[in-house]
Structure 1
């Protein structure tokens, strides 16, 4: 399972993540939009999206690829504008083993996020989902308070 969240201007965006038949992931609606300071709402958003898991969907054709879903929720004109000043993380789960991976903008200048594997948080085997969510919320709120 993979879920992502993006922090921009004190707001956290938690999209539904689907996996295509080709094996790559895409952000889709619905998207939870929650103030970073609202711990209870963040908790619910993460619980909801994690409970859904990653539905497998047909791979879109190149000419029918949907536009990025998050910019409209932030009132940004496009993906590039949305990425400015944003922070992104992913929670990966594989057979009950969790990790939180921070992302940064591609240094090559593309409009993509790149995993920062050196700064990931690997949880011990058997860590409960609630503990992972609690840590993710702490990371988000700490980042929001220092920016």
Structure 2
């Protein structure tokens, strides 16, 4: 399968898997440099460099200052950019609807809740979720773009 990136470049499913593996390593704080990423993921240095470049271009990863030197030139450190966007989440219970907007690291930015009766049916309940989502999306200063629901 081929996926088209926002920049128009085609990315194979393998490339997407590699991109996700690299992002997870950085996001979870397990790897802070390209050499650590190569060692932990088993990917070649060129592939790691390309995937990191893709993530930087998308705004999901930031290059920070140099790390500790282990004898050579200090490696540039990488950091997950949790403010590159936001996500909408919903929890529909039997008696309430809870929605929130979070940063990409899951930190709640804002939330709304209201009583609801599940017996009102899916059209009513999902209509309320949509209205609450619109309310949250209209908040000023949400980070980045919407990445998912």
TM bin (shorter chain): 0.3 to 0.5
Which is bigger in relative contact order (C-alpha 8 A, separation at least 6)?
1
Point out the structure with the larger helix share: 2
Q: Which has the higher strand share?
A: 1
Larger gyration radius, structure 1 or structure 2: 2
- TM-score w.r.t. structure 2 length? 0.33
